[in-house]
Structure 1
Amino acid sequence: MQHNPDELVWKTSTYTNGNGACVEVAVLPDGGRAVRDTKDRDGGTQYYNRAEWSAFIAGVKDGEFDL
């Protein structure tokens, strides 16, 4: 289910350095998340259901995405 990005409450990462090169995340009513780029808020929003977001967070915590 798609949501109107203008109706969501967005939070910017606390790691942003003020140059706008960061991401914003919004909690969806079903527990999923929406993600967008702060440099291009109208450039598209990615939507994840609760299970997808949980799997992503688990991967981050486990170091799956470490370079």
Structure 2
Amino acid sequence: MRAADELGELRAATALITHHSDACHLQRHRWRALHQTRATVSHYSRRGDPCPACGPGDNPSRTDHNLKI
């Protein structure tokens, strides 16, 4: 009976897996990269340290928050 329970759990887990399109994966990747960059800039600006992701003379702004993701 235990094998039947495990098989049932496996079927339930497999049925719950969502399949996303390539466009969805690309959109998520872009959002994540943008979010990580914004978080890095915010982290260093709060500390008053120069942002390592920004080149010399760059002035990172948060004006890109209106971009469509």
TM over 0.5: no
Whose strand proportion is higher, 1 or 2?
A: 1
Whose helix proportion is higher, 1 or 2?
A: 2
Structure with bigger gyration radius: 2
Q: With a CA cutoff of 8 Å and minimum separation of 6, indicate the structure with the bigger relative contact order.
A: 2
| TM-score, normalised with respect to structure 2 | 0.29
